[in-house]
Amino acid sequence: MNDRFAELRRRDFSRLDAGGHVYLDYTGAGLYAESQVRAHADYLCGAVLGNPHSRNPTSLAATHAVEEARRKVLEFFYADPELYEVIFTLNASGALKLIAEAYPWEPGGHFLLTADNHNSVNGMREYAVAHGAEVRYLPLGCELRVDDVESHLAGAERGRHHLFAFPAQSNFSGVKHPLEWVEIAREHGYHVLLDAAAFVPSSPLRLDEHAPDFVALSFYKMFGFPTGVGALLARRNVLGELHRPWFSGGTVRFVSAQNSVHLPHVTGRAFEDGTLNYLGISAVAAGLGFLGEIGIERINRHVMRLTGVLLDELAALRHSNGAPMVRFYGPQGTEMRGGSVAFNLLDPAGETVDFRVVEQRTNAAGVSIRTGFFCNPGAAEFAFEYHDADAFRCINTLTPETFTLQQFSDCMSDHAVGAIRASVGIASNDADIARLMEVLATFRDAPADTVPNAATAAVVAAD
Ligand X SMILES: Cc1ncc(COP(=O)(O)O)c(C=O)c1O
Note whether 118 and 375 are within 8 A (CB).
Answer: yes
Rounded CA-CA distance 78/321 in Å is: 53
Asked if 167 interacts with ligand X (CB under 6 A), we say: yes
Closest contact distance (angstroms) between CB of 92 and ligand X is: 4
What is the smallest separation between the CB atom of 270 and ligand X, expressed in angstroms? Answer: 21
**Out of 12, 25, 116, 195, which residue is the one contacting ligand X (CB under 6 A)?**
195
Instruction: Calculate the alpha carbon distances from 49 to 13, 69, 136, 359, 425 in Å.
Output: 29, 15, 47, 44, 33
Closer to ligand X by Cβ: residue 185 or 345: 185
Q: Which of 62, 179, 198, 205 binds ligand X (CB under 6 A)?
A: 198
Nearer to ligand X, 185 or 229 (CB): 229
Q: Between 228 and 366, name the residue whose CB sits nearer to ligand X.
A: 228
Among residues 156, 175, 193, 197, the one that binds ligand X under rule CB under 6 A: 197
Transcribe 365-423 into DSSP letters. Answer: TTEE-EEE-TT-HHHHHHHTT--HHHHHHHHHHS-TTT--HHHHHHHTTTS---EEEEE
Catalytic residue among 45, 375, 394, 411: 375
Query: Residue 360 carries which side chain, given as an amino acid letter?
Result: Q
Output the smallest distance, CB 141 to ligand X, in A: 20
The runs of H, that is alpha helices, within 48-148 are 57-76, 92-102, 119-122, 125-130
CA 430 to chain CA mean position, Å: 24
Binding residues among 19-58 for ligand X as defined by CB under 6 A: 27
CB of 25 to ligand X, least distance (A): 10
C-beta separation of 60 from 47 below 8 A? no
Residue closer to ligand X, measured from CB, 92 or 342: 92
> Is 12 or 116 the residue whose CB approaches ligand X more closely?
116
CA–CA separation, 267 and 265 (whole Å): 6
205 to 244: interface string for ligand X, x by CB under 6 A: -------------x--------------------------
101-120 residues in contact with ligand X (CB under 6 A) are 118, 120
- CB closer to ligand X, 118 vs 235: 118
By CB under 6 A, residue 368 contacts ligand X: no
Say whether 375 is catalytic: yes
Site mask for ligand X (CB under 6 A), range 74-93, x = bound:
-----------------xxx
For residue 99, which of 130, 128, 67 has the smallest C-alpha distance?
128
- Residue 371 phi, psi (nearest 5): -130, 165
Residues 119, 376: Cα–Cα separation, whole Å: 6
Please list the alpha-helical segments (H only) found in 267-404. Answer: 278-281, 284-294, 296-316, 355-364, 377-383, 388-397
Minimal distance in Å, beta carbon 409 to ligand X?
23
Task: Supply the Cα-derived Rg of the chain in whole angstroms.
Answer: 23
Q: Which residues bind ligand X (CB under 6 A)?
A: 27, 91-93, 118, 120, 167, 171, 195, 197-198, 218
